[in-house]
Structures are given as structure tokens and as C-alpha cells.
Amino acid sequence: MNLPTCTKCKSQPSVFFRGYSGERLCKDCFIKSIIERVQRSINIYEMLEHSSKIAIGVSGGKDSLTLLHVLKIIEDNTHGSEIVAITIDEGIKGYREEALKIVKKNTRLLDLEWVHISFKKLFGISMDEIAAKTTRSLGSCSYCGVLRRRALNTAAKSIGADRLATGHTLDDMAQSAILNLIRGDLSKMHSLLPGGINQDGFVRRIKPLCEVPERETALFAYLSGFEFQSMSCPYAEEAIRNDARAWLNDMEEKRPGIMFTTFRTALKMMPQLKSTNLKACEFCGEPTAGSSCRVCQMVMDGNIRV
Ligand code: SF4
Ligand code: ZN
């Protein structure tokens, strides 16, 4: 079968049809387009300065490893920032061990420093132990998300990073925008700002893949040929986010470009929304919106000990 020719270089056979732009791209033009897209997002959302120290949260999945590979290429060619990969080992048997091996291989391949830190070491308890205690009303992911956020920030601070990059894709951004709306939680919209916000006690979080759809990170990983973990976490929940994901995927199929519109509309709302002022948690001193942070609230509920 003859594949249509790439609409960019007009010489190679295309391997991908990009519904929202109408382009058909060959392997090389596709890979180049992702690197250029990330570079553009870094520039427009003012994510980096020259010679930053960037900590990248790398779980071992296709999104975070795509981020690692793309940022390495960009930084080698432009800002010259130092990159350190950070992996949080939640302590999930049969799942996290494989991810750790994969991240190790990728960081060796790219000749990057790699730091990994476990829930057990930081909080005295593993995710398997928490899952054994949690009730259906507050599932494993609710605990894991809060602890992982803290662990990533702690690890990024400990290496003196001035940015913490995460592998959130366009799909994640659009889903979060919809979820914040339907939960009526507009104060959380600010966490979608791709360039992050400077807040005392937090390493500024940036999201360089904010305009890259998830199916394109998967194709980037596949075409680049690096190994990534495809197994899902055994505690992944059938949460409301999955409904938002299914709905957005269906809409995107019917009306290509709807994820971009959702994300950009959320960004346009930002100036009208008030951001939350953070203060120090009265127990641990970490930044929080209330008087005590979510980690300390979990400790007090008796589910974890720090
Ligand atoms: Fe943690 Fe849930 Fe992600 Fe598993 S799916 S790593 S429990 S947040
Ligand atoms: Zn091409």
C-alpha cells in the first residue's frame, strides 16, 4: 500500500495524520514537530531561563519519558540548563520496580543524573500499606497524589532545582480544566498555568508538554525507540477523571481541536480568577492554603506516619 506523502517535507511517506491541523507527517517531520511545539510552549509561557537547573518528574511512562528526551534535546541546543530526573517510588509491588529499571536505562542512555526517593523513606509508609488501610470513600490515588506532590517538591528542593517539570499533556490540561469547572473549584485553575507560579516553599512547576496531545507522546516514544512502561498502576481508579477523559476523547474524535480550545479557554479565564494565598502549615511548615497541609491532615487521620 502506498502511504500519502508527508505534507511538510513532501518527500517521505507519512506515518501520522494530525486531525486538528490536517497535516500528514513522516517520522522525521513528526519528531521535529514535537520538539518545536515544546520549544514554543517553553517560550510563550516563559517556563525557563538560561542555565536553570531543571528537575524532571519521571515515572517511567510514555509522557514523562518523552518529556525527558525532548528537554534533553532542547537544552543541549539552547538554554544549556542542567537536567536531573527524579522518580518517586511509591512502593507499589509488581509495578514500580519495572518503572525504576526503565527510568534508569533511559537516564543512562541520555547521560543524565537520576535521583529516586521512596514514600517509605520520606513518610515511613508505602503505597501498598496505605492501600491496605484506605476506604472506598477516599481511594488510593487521593493519598498517592498528595504524597507524590510533596515528595517531588522535597526531592527538587534537595537538589537545588529552580524548576520542576512534569509530563502533563494537553489531554491532562483539558481534563483538569473540565474537572475544575464541574466541581466548581475555580481556585485550582491556577495550577494549569504551564509556566507555573513562584510560591515560597515550592519549586516552580512547569508543564512543557501542555500543548502535546497524549496520543502524540505515545507515537513520539514509539518512533524514537526508547523503552517506556505501559503497564497501569494496580490502584488506578475508575474516577471522575476517566469520565472526563472519555468524553473529551469522544469530542476530539468528532471535532478535532476541542482539547486545545478547552485548555486555551481555561488559560483565558485566569486573569479573572483569584489565586490562593499560601501560608506555612502549622505542623510541618510546608506551604498550604489552609492552616494545615493535606499531608499533615493524613497523618492526623492515622493513615500515614511521617
Ligand atoms: Fe498513585 Fe493512583 Fe497513580 Fe497509582 S494510579 S501511582 S495510586 S496516583
Ligand atoms: Zn516529512
Report pLDDT digits (tens) over 13-63: 999 999 999 999 999 999 999 999 999 999 999 999 877 899 999 999 999
Cα separation, 65 vs 58, in Å, equals 6
Mutate to test the pocket of ligand 1, among 58, 100, 141 (most ligand atoms within 8 A of CB): 141
Assess whether 186 and 302 both reside in one domain: no
Mean pLDDT value across residues 97-120: 97
Residues 129, 303: contact at Cβ < 8 Å? no
> Do both 88 and 172 map to the same domain?
yes
Cα–Cα distance measured from residue 199 to residue 68, given in angstroms and rounded to the nearest whole number: 24
Sign for the pseudo-dihedral over CA of 294, 298, 304, 306: positive
Domain co-membership, 298 together with 173 = no
Question: Is residue 305 included in any domain, yes or no?
Answer: yes
pLDDT digits (tens, 9 = 90+) for 91-104: 999 999 999 999 99
Structure confidence at residue 150 as a pLDDT band (50, 70, 90): very high
Q: Decide which of 302 and 10 is more confident.
A: 10
- 90/189 same-domain check: yes
Measured CA to CA, the distance from residue 49 to residue 79 in angstroms comes to: 7
Closest ligand 1 atom, residue 144 Cα: 1
CB-based pocket (< 6 A), ligand 1: 90, 127, 140-141, 144-145, 233, 235-236
Predicted TM-score (pTM) of the model is 0.91
As a whole number of angstroms, the distance between CA 285 and CA 292 comes to: 9
* pLDDT given for residue 171 in this prediction: 98
Q: Which domain holds residue 110?
A: 43-230+237-275
Domain identity same for 85 and 163: yes
Which residue has the CA at smallest separation from atom 8 of ligand 1?
141
DSSP category for residue 5: B
Please write the tens of the pLDDT for every residue from 225-272.
999 999 988 888 766 888 999 999 999 999 999 999 999 999 998 877
Per-residue pLDDT at 279 = 81
189 and 219 share one domain: yes
Same structural domain, 285 and 141: no
Ligand 1 centroid, distance to 113 Cα (angstroms):
25
Task: Tell me, in angstroms, the distance from the centre of ligand 2 to residue 23's CA.
Answer: 10
- Residue 77 is part of a domain; what is its CATH number? 3.40.50.620
Does one domain contain both 118 and 255? yes
Atom of ligand 1 nearest to the CA of 234: 4
Q: Is there a single domain that holds both residue 281 and residue 267?
A: no
Q: 64 vs 29, 77, 105, 250, CA distance in Å?
A: 21, 20, 14, 24
Radius of gyration of the chain (CA): 20
Q: Which residues surround ligand 2, an ion (CB under 5 A)?
A: 6, 8-9, 12, 26, 29
Flag whether 14 is in a domain. Answer: no
Number of structural domains the chain divides into:
2
Closest residue by CA, ligand 1 atom 2 = 141
Q: Residues 247, 280: one domain?
A: no
CB 47 within 8 A of CB 41: yes
Closest Cα to atom 5, ligand 1: which residue? Answer: 236
pLDDT of residue 141: 83
Ligand index nearest the alpha carbon of residue 14:
2
User: How far is ligand 2, taken at its centre, from the CA of residue 1, in Å?
Assistant: 18
Pocket mutation for ligand 1, best pick of 229, 233, 240 (most atoms within 8 Å of C-beta)? 233
Whether residue 167 is found in the same domain as residue 263: yes
